[in-house]
Amino acid sequence: MYFVRHVIPGPQSLSYLVPHIILPIALLTPRSILSRWQNIAVFVPVMVGCTIHAWTVMGSVDVPSLNGLFWAAFLLVLNDPWTKFALLKPDVESNGKNFQEDKTGQNGHPKEQKTKLTYTAVPYPSTIKARIPWTFKLITALTLDNWLISYQPHDKTQPPPPQPKSRTSFILTTTLHTCIAYLTLDLTSALTTTDPYFTNPSIPLSSPLPQTTPSFLIHIPPRILRPTLIALQAYALIANLLPSPALIPSLLNAAGLLPDKCSPHAWPPYFGPPTSFLERGLSGWWGTFWHQTMRWSVSGPGIALADHLGLARKGLARRAIVLCSAFGLSGCVHTGLVPPEPLHLGDGVSVSFVRGLVGGFFWVQVGAMLVEECVGRCLERVVSREARRSEVWWWLRAVGNVLWLCGWFCCCMPLLGEAGRQLGWWRHWLVPASLVKGMRGEGWISWEYLR
């Protein structure tokens, strides 16, 4: 109870679990029993009511429950999986439609392929035996990879290219990334725990760096170094949390206890290629490079509204509506990181203000991405198509996008920094065992309650 009241919100009533039980039941109910709107009328109010009750008991929203509600709305209200969704299964013969992988390389030139995989589109099954695995795959497919959803911008990229790594390569790569993330958290903790800015909310961002700062960092402006540390920690935490659990099923697969299709080495990668933000800047960062586990749950309402208004696919108005939906709702979801009774709030600081800081980090992305969109459209009019296809232009754009991203995140990361200071995120070392502390002779265990 202490953890979910003072550290991060979490379930405190049985009503919290009800929506997670009802969603599969709703999807398993065929149209022969309930029509689309009958299904919505029966199940959605119960899910909303139970979620609100769970929030009331918690005294706060939290990330899983709010995002789960948006995901349920996407599947049940904004879409009709019974008639419009289909699961793409490789090398399976059925009466469904077959798709052949036909990926193209940069500038539209075909990539050299060794094999072509045939996929079968499996619509909503008619039998309960087939419907159960189909439904649970849909509920857990947050990125909707290997699914057709009757939305052309998504469907034209499906199925995604098969993961080229072998199981051994995946295990070694994931282990390496986990170690790098762990070391990053350890090294940055050595800086944040000794910098008064991170532990004292009264100290401004531009205050001088402490004398304990290493000599090779002391000359970096505080407004650049401190947001960079926050960004490194945020990336390392997520890069550590997402891939690391995948090692367990991969090792079980290596031991013969799980089939290959259940092993993460055969799944699409968690993050997209870095070339996405080199080519498209902030849009490439959030839309392709960063993990997409919340993409459809938060952008779904914006897409549905834009389609209802009949807005052009590549129009600026449609872009603005979808961005407002995606980052507006994502900001609301992430306010669930703030517990109902934080332990370290400064004088006169409210919980609502801290939630606004967390949500604000995502809300301000909308303005930046719209500015980026307008600049990109202006450049398309000024620079000829031939020039934009040149290698020199690619490098100019890549360097410009890197500088733009660095500058932008230095501006918006302090929003998370201020929220973290108020919540006491940097009052403790971020990893339980520390190489830095051990090499200093301060003991290898950094969390006191583990000593």
Give the single-character DSSP code of 86: E
- Give the model's confidence band at 100: pLDDT under 50 very low, under 70 low, under 90 confident, else very high: low
Calpha distance 158→136 (Å, rounded): 19
Calpha distance 198→268 (Å, rounded): 37
Calpha distance 332→61 (Å, rounded): 9
Q: Is residue 251 predicted with pLDDT exceeding 70? A: yes
Digit-coded pLDDT (tens) for 218-246 = 999 999 999 999 999 999 988 776 778 87
Domain ranges of the chain: 2-81, 85-155, 183-423
Across residues 302-313, what is the average pLDDT?
93
- Give the model's confidence band at 169: pLDDT under 50 very low, under 70 low, under 90 confident, else very high: confident
- Give the model's confidence band at 97: pLDDT under 50 very low, under 70 low, under 90 confident, else very high: low
| Structure tokens belonging to residue 55 | 């929030």
User: What would the DSSP string read from start to end of 116-161?
Assistant: --EEEEEES-SSHHHHHHHHHHHHH-TT-TTEE-S-HHHHTT-SPP
Across residues 90-113, what is the average pLDDT?
50
Whole-number pLDDT of residue 13: 93
Judge whether 415 and 397 are in contact, CB under 8 Å. no
Calpha distance 317→312 (Å, rounded): 8
Residues 128-149, buried b or exposed e (16+ Cβ, 10 A)? Answer: eeebeebbeebeeeebbebbbb
Number of helices and strands in the chain (H, E): 18, 4
Q: Output the average pLDDT for the chain.
A: 88
Whole-number pLDDT of residue 344: 84
Digit-coded pLDDT (tens) for 261-295 = 777 777 777 788 888 999 999 999 999 899 888 99
Across residues 1-9, what is the average pLDDT?
83
Judge whether 57 and 17 are in contact, CB under 8 Å. no
Quickly count: other Cβ atoms within 10 Å of residue 320's Cβ.
17
119 vs 335, which has greater pLDDT? Answer: 335
Whole-number pLDDT of residue 16: 95
- Give the model's confidence band at 112: pLDDT under 50 very low, under 70 low, under 90 confident, else very high: very low
Q: Is residue 298 predicted with pLDDT exceeding 70? A: yes
Digit-coded pLDDT (tens) for 197-217 = 998 888 999 999 999 889 889
Judge whether 23 and 75 are in contact, CB under 8 Å. yes
Name the residue among 151, 99, 134 with its Cα closest to residue 120.
99
Among the residue ranges 94-108, 120-134, 165-179, 352-366, the one predicted with the least confidence is 94-108
Digit-coded pLDDT (tens) for 368-404 = 999 999 999 999 888 888 888 888 999 999 999 999 9
Q: Is residue 115 predicted with pLDDT exceeding 60? A: no
Calpha distance 347→76 (Å, rounded): 44
